[in-house]
Structure 1
Amino acid sequence: MALQALPERVARLGKPLGTAVDGTRAALRWKGGGRAAGHTVGAVALLLPEAEPPGTRRPAPLAALPARPLAGRLARAGRAEGLVAHVLHYRRRGWNGAALDPPRDAAWALEEIVRRYGDVPVCLVGIGVGGRAALHAAGHPAVTSVVSLAPWLPAPPPHGPATEPADPVKQLIGRQVLLVHGTNDARTDPELSYRYAERAKKTNRDICRFEVHSDGHALHQHRSEVHALTTDFLLGSLFTHTYSRPVADALAAPPPLGLRMPLAAGFGETLGK
């Protein structure tokens, strides 16, 4: 009896999160489907959730769920401009070394976004392993900006794998980039994201990095401030919104000041939810 091949695993985009200006559910206009009338998509936030360093099995059914609250907040904040947010569902649950599974899935998702919505700007918002994937995938022509939250960045040799080259930075040229890292992150050394940002800043001045003092890898302790900062940066990088003073100052300041900007407690309370 012939063996039947297993179906190939594919990445997929979660359902679009976005509402029309009047607060009703948007009738999104996109190529290849959807209703003809409705709210035209003006930009897309693509969220790349946390994953594991190794792992070739399928992701757990709820693996992408923690990214949805931030996706919903971004969609609500940008609804007047037609912002739509998608959470990416990976093919596999890990980065898997040279396989670069999350960046490959992100590249597929960006092509799918172009197919659906046309020539619209995209902000990549990655968390943990997804934060590293967002930095890797930033070279796609549709990408305008990148937010990398607590990016998982392996230590370079001699403490890291000698076979893995340093993460690239040239793909960030022409993009506006925000990195955020908790100073008490026990999973990935926050100094690694500082060194990465320092390298990237040499070729792209539009990079800033915020430190969340006393917070860990998941950034739970100051989640409200982190989400507010992400929203502020996304609206400023995709649309004509003015950056808040801390973000503008961080982008303008040379290293190390602009790459070690402290995230103030209560950030966003006066910016709107």
Structure 2
Amino acid sequence: MAQQGTAEPARSARLGRAIGTGAGAVSGAVLLLPSGHETSTRRPSPLATASVRALGRRLAHDGREAGLATHVVHYRYRGWNGAEAQLARDATWAADEIVRRYGDVPVCLVGVDMGGRAALRAAGHPAVNSVLALAPWLPEEDVAAPPEPVKQLMGRRVLIVHGTNDLRTDPELSFRLAERAKKTNREVCRFEVHSDGHGLRQHHAEVHALAVDFVMGVLFGRDFARPLEDALAAPPPLGLRMPLASGFGRGIG
């Protein structure tokens, strides 16, 4: 008699250990959402997780005294996988987990590439008050398919950052999404990193400084730097094509 195979147990999303050490009680949280693939049931790549840790360390360091908890989200699968939207579901689970661990604290979703799409999609969670999407992967617009939703962004502060030379994720698609979101939510802005590519490596110091400025403002009420304040207040397209100045965060931004 043939032996039956054993089914693989269902995978679960999980939070990585808090990056850095907090100064005491947690007053706000960042969930770092790594990149992924459009379609894949493989386990997430460790390289994708590693790619968000540098930003996580910077956020944890600068937010320590304010009570910031920073966690990487470990997805169940590598892929978005169509209508399953599995990365977004895992982001929603992670926000639930933050509430379970820390109570009623504000959450900022920080996503890179496909993680940026997950952050934008999961923004409707009640604990989420803000979204930072770095070079977000967004689907090509198709007249036969509904556009990427933006209603869940209402009432949230949203910052999108995209390199103008990104060959992996189309920066024009993130502009169009921001344009649609801005019609119902004034608290949306988008920065363009001129001449930079998908990884935003040429200006990573400025990008990290902008991320810190945004997170400390949306979670703890600190004043935004003038360029970020202006971008949020400016009407489209000005506030959606704001150039990220060289030296931002070093007294020049």
CA offsets 1:137-174 (integer angstroms, 9 cap, x no match):
0000000110000010111115xxx4x42111111111
Q: 2: distance between equivalents of 1:110 and 1:70? A: 19
Q: Hey, what does 2:79 align to over in structure 1?
A: 94
Q: Which residue does the alignment assign to 1:268?
A: 249
1: distance between equivalents of 2:46 and 2:54?
Answer: 17
Q: Is the 8 A contact 2:22 2:69 kept in 1?
A: no
Matched residue type, 2:195:
S
Percent identity at matched positions? 64
Q: Which runs of 4+ in 1 moved over 2 A?
A: 1-5, 18-21, 60-63
Counterparts of 1:7 and 1:68, CA distance in 2: 28
Residue of 224, 244, 247 corresponding to 2:205? 224
Cα distance, 1:3 vs structure 2: 3.3
The aligned counterpart of 2:15 is 13
Q: TM-score, normalised by structure 1?
A: 0.89
Counterpart secondary structure, 2:214? helix
Q: Which runs of 5+ in 1 are unaligned?
A: 22-38
Q: 1:117 aligns with which of 97, 102, 106?
A: 102
Task: Provide the secondary structure at the position in 2 that maps to 1:81.
Answer: coil
* Residues 50-69 of structure 1: per-residue CA shift (max 9 Å, x gap): 11111111112343111111
Q: 1:137 is matched with which residue?
A: 122
Q: Are residues 1:244 and 2:229 paired?
A: no
Residue 271 of structure 1 and its aligned partner are, at CA, apart by 8.7
Amino acid at match of 1:197: A
1:257 aligns with 2:242: no
Shift of the alpha carbon at 1:188? 1.6
Q: Tell me, in whole angstroms, the C-alpha distance in 2 between the residues paired with 1:19 and 1:259.
A: 35
Is the counterpart of residue 42 in structure 1 residue 23 in structure 2? no
Residues 191 and 243 of structure 2 are in contact (CA less than 8 Å); yes or no, is this contact kept in structure 1? yes
Aligned to 2:136, the other structure's residue is in SS state: coil
Partners of 1:50 and 1:20 in 2: CA distance = 26
2 CA distance for matches of 1:43 and 1:217? 28
3-state DSSP class of the match of 1:80? coil
Q: Give runs of aligned pairs for residues 82-231 of structure 1, distance below 5 A.
A: 82-157=67-142, 162=144, 164-231=145-212
Check the 8 A contact 2:33/2:116 in 1, yes or no: yes
Tell whether the 8 Å contact from 1:18 to 1:82 is kept in structure 2 after alignment: no
Aligned to 1:28: none
- 1:71 is matched with 56
